[in-house]
Chains A and B, each alone.
Chain A
Amino acid sequence: MVNTRTPTGAPRNALALLGSLTGAALVGALYSRSQPTVAHSPTKTPVPDFAKANLAARRLNRAAGTLALSVLFDSALEHYRGQFRNRAMYTPLVTAAMALGVSAHGTMDQRQMPHVVRDTVYVLTAIAGLAGTGFHLFNVRRKAGGVSWQNLFYGAPVGAPMAIGLSGLLGYLSERVRETPSGQTPMVWGLPAGRVVGIASGLGMAGTTGEAGLLHFRGGFHDPFMYLPVTMPPVTALVLGRTALGPAGTERRATRWWLRATAILGLSGSAFHAIGVGRDMGGWRNWEQNILNGPPIPAPPAFTGLALAGLAALSLLENHPDD
């Protein structure tokens, strides 16, 4: 029987296989009883120490780096599609590449001191993200129809530059955590860093969900898996928000698992998108077209980056009770 609703042949098999793999990984993440990364005393008086703050800072670098990696490739593709008509279109490539570099450096750096280059790059990156959002908004408003579905779908994506902004922000927070003197709770802008990171990554998660939702709506949610990134991450955002505003110093095993599952979702999203590219006309042979017109392969790991940031926030909150 010819099935006109669902794909047949290789794409169906690939989707089914990846779907089950993702499902298994998610279930694994949710039920893993592997060692809780944090050992803490039930008396709620853990001793904040330098190593833990440094670990949290490096995790934030890792999160910022993951986001930067996603943005680097995504903006490279999208701006190549836009033929770099405006010199400013190179900005996210440069800033994301620098953010990626300093994040790699930070991830490996076990010293307690912030690094002036890292710090500067992260601040610049955050500013570039804000500026990019402005550019994209201007671009959308300028087109026929103004702020319309057509231009939100196909014009410059309004939400995308915020991803690099978030990378900068997370990196900046990482430096603040890193410079915390031993024995003190890391603070940013007068607030406990764990809470700030938690709120920031929760909001980022919500924004990225909005972006994925918009683009998956554009795709008509033609595949059931397309509902995953608009259902799981909002829960992640809520959980992160609750954690960031709730009591610190308690172990939140379920939250940790949920964040890990979200991180896996971001990675398998890229695999789903790769299958989607192969499903387009001409498949991977026609990569010149389908990489650009098909689902964006580098985009989904933004969720991974934010989930990693959430995990860092969780560690900070678990290790540094501030109340």
Chain B
Amino acid sequence: MTERNRYPGYDVMAKRHSLSWNDATRKVMDARLGVPREPRFLRQMEWDTLVAICERIIPQPQNRPPIPLAAYIDQKLQNDARNGFRNAALPPQREAWKKGLAAFEAEACLRYEHSFHNLKERQQDELLHRAETGQSDASVWSGMDASLFFSEHVMSDIIAAYYAHPTSWNEIGFGGPAGPRGYVRMQNGRRDPWEPVEAGPGDETRVRRENQRVR
């Protein structure tokens, strides 16, 4: 997959030792980047399904190391870190995820006679879309509302994990951590020297050079 890099050369991690980061920030970001890549809470089968789902919810470009989304979901489940509310129609998140992953796998076998993670992308999307719109096969979802599970967990947990990762900040040109050094130039079109530059068509080389100076 090739896509236009809007902030070429920008790496928010280059600011790690600047005043935009404090010790608390460095500590939590180190922990985030060091997330264990193996499942601790989920079983292998569930993990395989989850990895496949993550790749469809957020397809990542090939030209950089992917953000290990499934690892963050597994970590969240392992720590049982909750969001502070739960739709009364859903079981607690550990149970919900286990049920949901099992349901996707079961539906894949039912419909395509293959494991979910072995399906073609199009087929995976199809199953995800059915869950999203509540057209899943109710028999394999054992009473859980597929559409609710999709919005409350599949979408929200995976996407939150993606945009909590510095690699995604490079992609959208987010300045990243900012403290004690905050920002000075507040007006439209203004940029502090520690913020990334966006490349227009054709000026990628110049912008890349400038972004490599962002600290």
Contacts and interface: CB of A to CB of B under 8 A. Distances in A.
Given A281-B180, A286-B180, A288-B193, A83 B19 contact: no
A81 B190 CA distance: 9
A289 B184 contact: yes
Contacts of B190: 82-83
B185 interface: yes
A281 B179 CA distance: 9
B76 to A, nearest CB: 32
Contacts of B193: 288
B191 A286 contact: no
B184 A286 contact: no
Contacts of B186: 154
16 contacts: A81-B185, A82-B190, A83-B185, A154-B186, A281-B180, A281-B182, A282-B180, A282-B181, A286-B180, A286-B181, A288-B19, A288-B181, A288-B194, A289-B183, A289-B184, A293-B184
Contacts of B181: 282, 286, 288-289
A292 interface: yes
A285 interface: yes
B184 A292 contact: yes
Contacts of B19: 282, 285-286, 288-289
Interface of B: 19, 179-186, 190-191, 193-194
Given A81-B185, A281-B182, 13 more contacts: A83-B190, A154-B186, A281-B179, A282-B180, A282-B181, A285-B19, A285-B180, A286-B19, A286-B180, A288-B181, A288-B193, A289-B181, A293-B184
Q: How large is the interface on A (under 10, 10 to 19, 20 to 34, 35 or more residues)?
A: 10 to 19
Nearest 5 pairs of A and B residues by beta carbon: A282-B180, A281-B180, A292-B184, A286-B19, A286-B181
Nearest to A282: B180
Contacts of A282: 19, 180-181
B192 to A, nearest CB: 8
A165 to B, nearest CB: 26
Interface in A287-302: 288-289, 292-293
A282 B190 CA distance: 22
Contacts of A83: 185, 190-191
A199 to B, nearest CB: 38
A71 B19 CA distance: 29
A181 to B, nearest CB: 53
Interface in A137-161: 154
B17 to A, nearest CB: 13
Contacts of B185: 81, 83
Nearest to A154: B186
Nearest to A293: B184
A187 B1 CA distance: 80
Nearest to A280: B180
